[in-house]
Amino acid sequence: MKRHNSILAFCVSVVILVASVVSLAQQLDRTKIPPPGPNPQLHVPTWTKTQLSNGAMLIVSERHSLPLISFTITFVGGANQFEPENKRGVAAMTSSMLTEGTKTKSGDELSDALQLLGSNVGAGVGAEDGNINFVSTTANFEPTLAILADVMLNSTFPADALERLRGRTLVNLTQAKDQPTIVGAQVFARVLYGSAHPYGQRATETSIKAITRDDIVAFQKAYYQPGRAIITVVGDTTATSAKAAVEKGLAGWAKAGDKPSFSYPKLPELQPAKIYLVDKPGAAQSVVNIGLPGPPRNTPDYFALQVLNTILGGQFQSRLNANIREQKGYSYGVNSAFSYGKGPGAFRAGGSIFSAKTDAALIEFMKELKGIEGDRPITDEELKTAKDSLIQGLPARFASITAISGSITSLYVQGLPEDYFQNYAKNISGITKEDLLRVAKQYIDLDHLAIVIVGDRSAIEAPLKATNIAPIAILDIEGNPAASGGSGAGNK
């Protein structure tokens, strides 16, 4: 009897559960995107800032939830400031070779030592900054730091390792010529900034072949200097113990020389809107990049531009993606972004478009760009959704010790105020529709857009010309004017 009662009770529970689910489903309007929840509470980590005896800045943020420590040395200035134009690529090659061997350990011995510690030392140099870093357990922090100091200061850059790296780099450059997305990005930068500007330059087969071991040794000596260094330690430590460990671990890193001054050259004058077509015979998709140079990171319009771009193309439900992907089906996804640096940034909108729809998609891109400038005014709902998205994304910048390290360091690299994160939500919330209309008209100049398209010229040139959006120029994969017959990506 008890068994029958249990079965009956179970059946009744299932019926009630099913009825509840059906009732809830009937109440939901699945034609509408669920509204975002409340903004998550933001907890900005605290940190201390001091200066080491060699002039480097030391930042320490304590996080004791796990026995782990993130250590990063960030160098203000990067390839744009330190690479000669004819030796583009030397920065990346130098950072890649740091762990190939030192005065006392071979590359294999360094790898074995790090493996025993459960640590890994990484390094890289970007356009405007570089770093060398590791994450270790608390117990292995000091021995890992000793290895980092050894590779940063005592690397020997073996000749055989250099030739292996050169070979891999040349293969990568060759393969990149067959990647329309890469070709499109490179030509877009060349068109926007010109060949004389660092933003328009890149490593080439010629520059990579020209790099010698002496070039790498010279770059290592000039670049890894404490006077431009920001050392960030985040994790299971204290400010006092971290400073003592870092002073000891980097005792051989002496101050040397002044900080080099650098300023970007003037940009070439904006040209009237034009379509720059790079031929990729047989391409099933066209890679589209539309834009022009933009403001630097320190622009007072930064927050307005972030909100504007979120509405235009910065999230899945943005205007561009909703139109070109969701409504028209011309692409698997399109987007837009403002990129920033110490020099001029860029505005870019684009994506990969099905080849037969290249002209139709370009018409829709232009319609949305005109719309964001007033033809289709931004709504209150769009404004609120964009603000909520940006504000709700901020806590993710502190989700791990490496994320915390990068977020804090970025303030000093980019010259932002130390209370930037505390005031972020307020600055985003204060943006108005009038602000967005103003910055859209100021920074998205429809009369001077560069439209770079990598695709099958034989299939898309005539339809593009028929749109009458802009005249067409044919470029090769390096961004130079092509011969009359074209010089396409992938042509042999």
Instruction: Please compute the mean of the pLDDT values over residues 325-337 and round it to a whole number.
Output: 98
The pLDDT value recorded for residue 262 is 83
State whether the Cα torsion 153-157-161-164 is positive or negative. Answer: positive
> 3-state SS of the chain: helix, strand, coil percent to 5?
50, 20, 35
Q: How many Cβ atoms are within 10 Å of 223's Cβ, its own excluded?
A: 21
- 183-220 confidence digits (pLDDT tens): 999 999 999 999 999 999 999 999 999 999 999 999 99
Q: CA–CA separation, 238 vs 409, rounded Å?
A: 18
Q: What's the CA gap between 492 and 487, in Å, rounded?
A: 9
What average pLDDT does range 91-97 have in this prediction? 98
Domain boundary assignment for the chain: 48-249, 274-475
Tens of pLDDT along 481-492? 997 544 444 433
**pLDDT of the residue at 483:** 76
Mean pLDDT over 355-376 rounds to 97
Are 48-249 and 274-475 equal in CATH topology? yes
**What's the pLDDT score for residue 37?**
62
**What is the average per-residue pLDDT within 225-254?**
97
Task: Please tell me the predicted confidence (pLDDT) of residue 340.
Answer: 95
Long-range contacts of 111-114 (CB under 8 A, 24+ apart): 113/147, 114/144, 114/147
pLDDT band at 386 (very low <50, low <70, confident <90, very high): very high
Architecture of domain 48-249: 2-Layer Sandwich (3.30)
| Higher per-residue pLDDT: 258 or 428 | 428
**Is residue 345 predicted with pLDDT exceeding 70?**
yes
**Is the CB of residue 283 less than 8 Å from the CB of residue 104?**
no
Average pLDDT over residues 278-284: 97
User: Residues of the chain with pLDDT > 70: what percent?
Assistant: 89
Pairing outcome for strands 57-62 and 229-235:
parallel
Report residue 129: phi and psi, to 5°: -160, 165
The per-residue pLDDT for 13 is 62
pLDDT of residue 263: 87
Quote the DSSP letter at residue 468. T
pLDDT of 145 over the 60 cut: yes
Residue 17 has pLDDT above 80, yes or no: no
Fold observed for domain 274-475: Cytochrome Bc1 Complex; Chain A, domain 1 (3.30.830)
Could you tell me the pTM of the whole model?
A: 0.88
Residue 491's pLDDT is: 37
Examine the pLDDT at 15 and tell me if it is beyond 90. Answer: no
Q: Is residue 376 over pLDDT 50?
A: yes
Banded model confidence at residue 23, pLDDT cuts 50, 70, 90: low
